[in-house]
Amino acid sequence: MTQEATVTWLTQEAFDRLAAELDYLETLGRSEIAGKIEAAREEGDLKENGGYHAAKDEQGKQEARIRQLKHLLKTAEVGAAPESHGVVEPGTVITAVIAGEETVFLIGNREIAGDSDLDVYSEQSPLGAAILGLKVGEKTNYTAPNGKEIAVHVTKVETWAGQ
C-alpha cells in the first residue's frame, strides 16, 4: 500500500499529540532501543540471542511508526472539525444503518480519535469512499473487501466534538 499525497484533516489536539509522540520516538525512544540492542549484543552469540532479535524487531516497528508520523504530520490540514451541514465529509461523525444494524463512527484518520472508543473509517476505505458526499437520508451500497455488497443508509451527520 503506497502512502498517497492526500491531505489528512487533524484537530490541533491530535496534531500536537502526534508531534509529541514523534519527538519522543526520535529522541528517547531511539536511545532506549539502542540501549536494549547493545545490552543484548553483550550477551554473546547473536544468532541465537532472542533478546537481540526482539530488540531489532522493536526497532523496525518504531522506525516504521516514525515514518508514518512524519508523513501524516507533513500532509496534515490542522483545524477545527468541519461544521456539519448534514453531508458526510472527513471529520464528521456518522450514524448509519449498515447491513441492517445502526452504527456510529467517525470519517477520517484513526489518529484523530485518540483514546476515543469511536470506530473510525478513512475516506479511502470502501465504506468511507461510498458515503463521502452523501446527505442525511441518502442510501448507497458498497462492496466490502470480501466481495459482499452491503447496503448503507445515512441517518445522521454530526460535527466531531472530540474525545
User: Of 26, 48, 78, which marks where a domain is finished?
Assistant: 78
CA atoms within 13 A on the CB side of 120: 17
Do 17 and 74 lie in one domain? The reply is: yes
User: Of 17, 43, 78, which marks where a domain is finished?
Assistant: 78
Strand order in the sheet with 119-121: 119-121, 101-107, 92-98, 149-159, 139-143
**What is the DSSP code (8-state) at residue 136?**
T
Could you give the CA distance from residue 23 to residue 155 in angstroms, rounded to a whole number?
40
Do 35 and 70 lie in one domain? The reply is: yes
Do 21 and 56 lie in one domain? The reply is: yes
φ, ψ at 16 (rounded to 5°): -65, -40
What's the confidence (pLDDT) of residue 6? 67
What's the confidence (pLDDT) of residue 78? 84
Could you give the CA distance from residue 159 to residue 85 in angstroms, rounded to a whole number?
9
The per-residue pLDDT for range 114-128, each reduced to its tens digit, is 777 889 998 889 999
> If DSSP codes are grouped into helix, strand and coil, which group holds residue 145?
coil
The answer to whether residue 104 is domain-embedded is yes
Cell of 46: 547473536
Cell of 89: 465529509
Kindly state the percentage of the chain with pLDDT values over 90: 50
Do 72 and 99 lie in one domain? The reply is: no
What's the confidence (pLDDT) of residue 1? 39
User: Of 78, 110, 131, which marks where a domain is finished?
Assistant: 78
The answer to whether residue 87 is domain-embedded is no
The per-residue pLDDT for range 122-158, each reduced to its tens digit, is 888 999 999 999 999 999 999 988 999 999 999 999 9
Which pLDDT band, with edges at 50, 70 and 90, does 163 fall under? low
The per-residue pLDDT for range 70-97, each reduced to its tens digit, is 998 998 888 776 677 889 988 889 999 9
CATH number reported for the structural domain that contains residue 30 in this entry = 1.10.287.180
- Residue 4 reports pLDDT greater than 90: no
| pTM for this prediction | 0.67
The answer to whether residue 2 is domain-embedded is no
Q: Which residues contact 55 (CB under 8 A, 6 or more apart)?
A: 33, 36, 37, 40
The answer to whether residue 109 is domain-embedded is yes
User: How confident is the prediction for the chain on average, in pLDDT?
Assistant: 87
Could you give the CA distance from residue 135 to residue 128 in angstroms, rounded to a whole number?
13
The per-residue pLDDT for range 24-79, each reduced to its tens digit, is 999 999 999 999 989 888 887 777 778 888 889 999 999 999 999 999 899 888 87
- For residue 70, the enclosing domain spans 8-78
What's the confidence (pLDDT) of residue 44? 76
Could you give the CA distance from residue 42 to residue 40 in angstroms, rounded to a whole number?
5
In the chain, the number of structural domains is: 2
